[in-house]
Amino acid sequence: MSAPAEPSSEPPVRRHTAVTPARRKTFLRALAETGSYAAAAKAATPYSSNRSAAVSTFRRLRAIDPEFAAACDEAIQTALGKVESTIWDRAINGTQRPVVSGGQIVGYETVVDNKLLLSLARRLDPEAWSETRKVEHSGQIDSRSVSFQVTLAPEDIYLLKEEKRALLLGLLEDIAQAKEKADE
């Protein structure tokens, strides 16, 4: 029996696996397939026991290497294209669901997801299909004897950050309520 090893005062050696061209290629291929950094890092680092470190390695590489960042963006767009294609197919063609009678599958029915269809319609023609509030103001706003008219289209309001947009819509609602009270 040998004597136990004495504790070392040296810090533990950290194993580092380089991001080789082959690992980059594996990572980018998996990222294009899955759209997931975690899944891509796992595919490119199959023997690692620390998944978050593997993801961090590739995120760090993306931050310092513009070519790798561009390749990651392209891979994400490839994955997104597959998702959009599947969404389109399911929205237009529906999905097959089994029809069961007496515990047996007797056929299939095509089920179309109307929410998915509406979502696609809003994306393709936001003006016609979006659930937006139309705010119109006619009249004048007097400020120190200066008169002007403000015309805002819904798309103008969406140019604002969410916080400012909410503030503006709140103010316009307050004005509308005040006008209603004044008309009473």
The pTM assigned to this predicted structure is 0.54
Q: What is the structure's pLDDT at 181? A: 83
Task: Look at residue 15 and tell me if it is in a domain.
Answer: no
Q: What is the structure's pLDDT at 14? A: 45
Evaluated on CA atoms 39, 45, 49, 50, the torsion sign reads negative
Structure tokens at 14: 């950290």
110 and 149, same structural domain?
Answer: no
What is the DSSP track for 7-55? PPSSPPPPP-----HHHHHHHHHHHHHH--HHHHHHHH-TT-S-HHHHH
Task: Look at residue 6 and tell me if it is in a domain.
Answer: no
Q: What is the structure's pLDDT at 168? A: 84
Rounded to an integer, what distance in angstroms lies between the CA atom of residue 27 and that of residue 57? 11
- Number of domains observed in the structure of the chain: 3
* Grouped pLDDT means (10 residues each) for the chain, 184 residues: 56 60 95 94 86 86 93 95 90 91 93 86 80 66 58 75 84 82 79
* Residue 50 domain boundaries: 21-84
Q: What is the structure's pLDDT at 12? A: 47
